[in-house]
Amino acid sequence: MFSKRLVLSQRGCRAAFFGLQNVQRGFATSSGPLLQKTAPLDPGLEMPQCDYEPEQYQGISFEHAKEVRKTYLNPALFSYYKEPVFICKGHMQWLWDSAGKRYLDLFAGIVTVSVGHCHPHVTKAAKDQLDKLWHTTNIYYHPTLHEYAELMASKLPGNLKVCYFVNSGSEANDMAIMMARAHTGNFDFLSLRNAYHGASPYTLGILAHSTWKLNVPVGFGYFQTMNPDVYQGPWGGANCRDSIAQTDRTCNCAAGQCMASKMYVDQLKDVLVHSTSKKVAGFIAEPIQAIDEDGVQKNCEVVGTYFLEELLQLKKEFPDVIGDVRGKGLMIGVEFVTDKESKTPLPPEKFVPIWEDCKDMGVLVGKGGLYGNVMRIKPPMCITKEDVDFGVAVIRTALSKYSHGK
């Protein structure tokens, strides 16, 4: 329930930093030229061209990786798909597996990759930082930390000007809970039912999703309230929305009572567009620089709206399978049902084959929702309308196969 603008996670940047360690591994097992292969496509489906050609993969085999995971890694780890993908390279919105097969990434590392995989500017900044210093501690001053904090503060509205950097989203939420309790002397927290906030000690208390809830003591003072479901909600659901697909929202709250008011949004846009800070704060700040320079926020608005419109057209073509399309910008959910009247969630044994077919045709999407029937779409911010056309065409093909096989 607390914004991560209070306690800031460096998850994506940290992952990019440690991902560079893979360059130092010299396990040469593959041979022959690396081809930009794609999964077999139906006639008329053509993957957009990519002007980047990755180097030949040299690393452990997929079979050996499976054995390593089974033997040496935490058994709680799980992977997507009946035949998991073995990703070895990424560039912007594209991923490649060890065999050279290319995928359009519409899930961005579970909503983590922002400006694109291995963005050239971010990659260069990371390498430059490794040449200067690998690690230090807060008991010493270091320029990068202070440059990044200043840059981050310049992007945040109002009094949100103090940064506390941690390592993950769970840790950010956990720290926010502890800080709020310590500062106010109050202990009760209110969160939404069916919501996920992390798996650290405090966040297990506000977490309210049976898939991730563990039967362990989490303390006291945690309360859950109704999730405002805009599709299947018991008090109006879709009737409470001001458009079929939410691309812009005018808040109806009392003046000054809602952080999402038009004045707030306009002020935030002004902060993002007209900030005067141009300092380069090491590689951890480079994604912010790339957002400004590449104009990807505007791209999210334009391409995201186009994506929603195309998915709404798909909903018209398959009204008894696609129950709802919702989202804003490039954060999109597509809910699958057995029929539009009952809104009964499409069961996993029927949804998963659609999802698997998308992967086989070269498109990676997530899945979620209370019943596991929602296609989660959150691509890197750099995708194009051409990518959207291909992604929607693949989903259409998978839905056609499902509809004909029912």
| DSSP-derived pairing of the beta strands 366-368 and 322-328 | unpaired
Looking at residue 254, its pLDDT comes to: 41
Q: Do domains 53-130+295-405 and 166-284 have the same CATH topology?
A: no
Paired tokens of 349: 């044994």
Looking at residue 92, its pLDDT comes to: 95
CATH class of 53-130+295-405: alpha beta
Looking at residue 285, its pLDDT comes to: 62
Looking at residue 36, its pLDDT comes to: 39
pTM for this prediction: 0.78
Mean pLDDT in order along the chain per 10 residues (406 residues): 42 33 30 38 78 93 95 89 94 96 95 91 89 89 90 89 89 93 94 88 87 84 86 72 55 42 44 36 60 83 95 96 94 94 94 96 94 95 96 97 85
CB 20 within 8 A of CB 126: yes
Looking at residue 229, its pLDDT comes to: 81
Looking at residue 265, its pLDDT comes to: 43
CATH tag for 166-284 (out of 3.40.640.10, 3.40.190.10, 3.30.465.10, 3.90.1150.10): 3.40.640.10
Looking at residue 155, its pLDDT comes to: 87
Looking at residue 232, its pLDDT comes to: 82
In the chain, what are the domain boundaries?
A: 53-130+295-405, 166-284
